[in-house]
Amino acid sequence: MDRKLTGWGSGGIGVLIFSGSLPATRVAVAEFEPLFLTSARAVIAALLGVLCLAVLRQSRPERSDLVALAVVALGVVIGFPLLTALALQSITAARSIVFIGLLPLSTALFGVLRGGERPKPGFWLFSLLGAATVSGFALTQSTSGALRGDLWMLAAIAVCGLGYAEGATLSRRLGGWQVISWALLIACPVMVGVMRITWPAALTTISPAAWGSLGYVAVFSMMLGFVFWYRGLALGGIAQVGQLQLLQPFFGFLLAGLLLHEPIAWQMIACAVLTVLCVAGARQLA
């Protein structure tokens, strides 16, 4: 099978898994503090990562890889989960999801800066069109100010793009699931300390929905999703496969409607069609 086609398929599975992250975080953050949610999901995922590394007898990364792995940890293990949890305290899941449409542009920019990629000019045109489509939808669907939550989401997009690009570059040598596993292991000591400090006073009052949401963001969003995502970026290219993230807001909207009973407007469907066209155009010209 073509290497790039395999990369797009693997990246697509990762996007589907990540699409449930913000709706699940919205449910969990209603009962867990953002710091506890961030640290607990990282610790659970780290245990899975360490188990995989040990069972499959993976070699330790080179000392020269530690800085890059720390960047991955700061971006996708700590930064994005914490910033989105903070955002979802003041804005809805639907509002937060539309900002994900800016993630491909962030990933592509850091791919150029950190990964040495040089996509064609047409790629940037379609990337900007896709980002503008999603941003325009976000602006037209705004309800109240919620400026603080919006700013948290913009910061989350920036650090996540950096973590994706850095992780994809490492994945070419270390492997996708190995990168996220080592990044989780590096962050684990700090995350264990934060989890102990922020431990909920009464676990019995936490609902099954909140526990289930924590389990999802820990096992799927924090671990399994990255196995497919980093593999896709490494095989198909950071900037190119990163455009699949333009579809993530609309998968997320569907889940938000099903799980959180948020309405799905016709504008969202129209915007989704335009976004798909932008993804297709970016892929052809990458």
What value does the mean pLDDT take over residues 70-74? 94
Tokens at residue 283, please? 């892929």
pLDDT cut 90: percent of the chain above it: 32
Highest-scoring range by mean pLDDT, 150-164, 187-201, 222-236 = 187-201
Highest-scoring range by mean pLDDT, 90-99, 143-152, 192-201, 251-260 = 192-201
CB 155 within 8 A of CB 103: no
| pTM confidence score | 0.83
Domain holding 182, by residue range, is 3-285
Find, among 189, 186, 187, 183, the residue nearest to 164 by Cα: 183
At residue 202, φ and ψ (nearest 5 deg) are -135, 100
pLDDT at 138: 66
- Mean confidence (pLDDT) of the chain: 84
Find, among 126, 148, 163, 153, the residue nearest to 280 by Cα: 126
Residue 56 has pLDDT above 70, yes or no: yes
pLDDT at 60: 87
- Please state the domain count of the chain: 1
